[in-house]
Amino acid sequence: MGEDIEKLKQHLPLLDYLRQQNWIGRSSGHSSEFVGVCPLHTETRPSFYVNARKNLFYCHGCGQGGDLLRFVQLSRHLSFPQSLAYLQQQSAAPADPAAVLEQAATFYQQQLDRYPEALHYLKQRGLRDPATIQELRIGYAPGGSLRRHLTAQGYSFDLLWRLGLLNSQGRDAFYRRVVFPCCQGGRVINLYGRSITAAFAHRFLHGSKGGLYAWDQVQQCPEVILVEGLFDYAVLWQAGFRHVTCSLGTHLNACQLQQLCDRPRTVYLTFDVDANGSGQQASERLALRLRAEGISARRVILPDGQDPNSFFVQGGDRAQFQSFLEAALP
């Protein structure tokens, strides 16, 4: 019995359970300790502490404390056997991937300012405005610390590996990459990592990339600028273009195409002007698809060999880019 109970606690950590019950806790200053308002009694000042490493809680307000089973007994007014049966049923439910990705994205964002090499890379890519970097929640994966951070909050190695955040050796999959969270409906559904060196390829987590990047912000716009890369998006946002979205590549999935076609609008296709012409060929194909759906599509032609990111990096400004929009081809 005792061994089964310990396995249950490991499979369903106390902190995970509390978050499933909508408990909100913030770090108390210790790496594995969190504090929030006590869910067992009415209070206005947070006094309920959770030690994620030890899997224990204690409330300085009502004096109650213990492990996960004890919390369930107190909060649901159940006996010990009833609490055990309840948790065995609960442990069968899968953890919410979006909650884990949200924690990872927040952790990466907190790391960015600590690593000059990451900030230098962003400046090289034309991102110099701290407000833009913060708004887009851009972070950095230094490697070596994500596993420790998330397991201290009660997430298992197996879960982090299945989500793709860690490789089979337990190392950070986004090692030495600048990281953008990709959200849909207010939830993080994927992460994109761009290497700050030539040693690593850029990458997404396995699974769906979702719809168009930051679509919720532009869905009502009668005109939308569509770019293919997140750094293209970022420099345009920094330059003040708020009606921009990103397809995360030149090939739109069914969800992304449906989003662009959900109402009458003009879409400015601003794909790379590659030497091999692949970006503009993709732009032409997409324009045909959009027009077939009754959407006005205009192709923005940048100088040879450029994309929106390189255009601004090389000294382009808002007024010049606006002129490219106005000269866009039908």
pLDDT tens digits for range 218-267: 999 999 999 999 999 999 999 999 999 999 998 999 999 999 999 999 99
Please, which pLDDT band fits residue 175 given cuts at 50, 70 and 90?
A: very high
pLDDT of residue 11: 74
Distance CA 138, CA 214 (A): 13
Mean pLDDT across the chain: 91
For residue 139, give both structure tokens.
Answer: 């972070």
Distance CA 157, CA 52 (A): 14
| Contact predicate 40/64, CB 8 Å | yes
Greatest mean pLDDT among 69-78, 79-88, 197-206:
69-78
The mean pLDDT of 34-62, rounded to a whole number, is: 94
Please, which pLDDT band fits residue 71 given cuts at 50, 70 and 90?
A: very high
Distance CA 134, CA 179 (A): 12
Residue 306 in 3-state DSSP?
coil
pLDDT of residue 210: 87
pLDDT of residue 2: 64
pLDDT of residue 88: 78
| Contact predicate 61/41, CB 8 Å | yes
- The alpha carbon dihedral of 181, 115, 155, 45 has a sign of negative
Kindly report the pTM of this predicted structure: 0.73
pLDDT of residue 1: 54
pLDDT of residue 94: 62
CA dihedral 200, 232, 268, 238 (to 10 degrees): 160
Of the given ranges (48-52, 154-158, 243-247, 276-280), which has the lowest mean pLDDT? 154-158
Please, which pLDDT band fits residue 31 given cuts at 50, 70 and 90?
A: confident
Share of the chain above pLDDT 70, in %: 97
For residue 322, give both structure tokens.
Answer: 């606006």
Maximum alpha-carbon separation in the chain: 74
Distance CA 132, CA 317 (A): 16
Residue 39 in 3-state DSSP?
coil
Q: Express each pLDDT in 141-172 by its tens digit.
A: 998 889 888 887 767 787 898 899 998 788 89
Please, which pLDDT band fits residue 280 given cuts at 50, 70 and 90?
A: confident
- Check pLDDT > 60 for residue 24: yes
Measured at the CA of 15, the angle between CA 12 and CA 20, to 5 degrees, comes to 75
- Check pLDDT > 80 for residue 20: no
The mean pLDDT of 119-125, rounded to a whole number, is: 97
- Check pLDDT > 70 for residue 176: yes
Q: Inter-axis angle of helices 80-90 and 68-76, to 10 degrees?
A: 110
How buried is residue 296: exposed, middle or buried, by Cβ count under 10 Å (0-12/13-18/19+)?
middle
Please, which pLDDT band fits residue 91 given cuts at 50, 70 and 90?
A: low
